[in-house]
Amino acid sequence: MPYEEDRQSPLLHICGLWENVSKAGDTYFTGNWGNIKVLIFRIKNPKGESSPTHTMNFQALSKKEKEVKKEEPPRYDTSDPGPDYREYNDRGEEIPF
C-alpha cells in the first residue's frame, strides 16, 4: 500500500495522567505505564518559538511504588478500551493492523 500523507494513524492510549503541583508551585503531570513512571514538565524558558514547551521523562518505579501499585485499585476504568480508532476501507470493511 503506498504511503498516504493525509492518512492519520490511530491513537494509542498509553496511560492516564494526573495533574500535580510542586512545592515551588509548578504544575506537572504523572502517570504509570506498567512499571514505568511517566513525568511531564513544562520548560520554564523555551529557547524560541520552535522549541518544545514540555519534556516527557520516564523513571523506573521504586520498590515502594510497586508495592503500593499492587495494593491500589486502578484509578480509572480499565475495562473501558477507550474510543474506537479502527479504520475502514471504502467498502466499510475493517482494515487490520
Q: What is the structure's pLDDT at 1?
A: 47
Would residue 36 count as lying in a domain? yes
Are the CB atoms for 18 and 31 separated by under 8 Å?
yes
- What is the model's pLDDT at position 28? 95
Q: How many domains does the chain have?
A: 1
d(CA 17, CA 31): 5
* Global pTM value: 0.59
- Judge whether 91 lies within some domain: no
77 domain-assigned: no
| DSSP letters for 35-82 | TEEEEEEE-SS-SSTTS-SEEEEEEEPPHHHHHHHHHSPPSS-TT---
Mean pLDDT of the chain: 77
Average pLDDT of 49-57?
93
In a domain, 29, yes or no: yes
Asked if residue 28 belongs to a domain, the reply is yes
% of the chain surpassing 90 pLDDT: 33
Q: Evaluate whether residue 8 is within a structural domain.
A: no
Residue 45: give the domain boundaries: 18-71
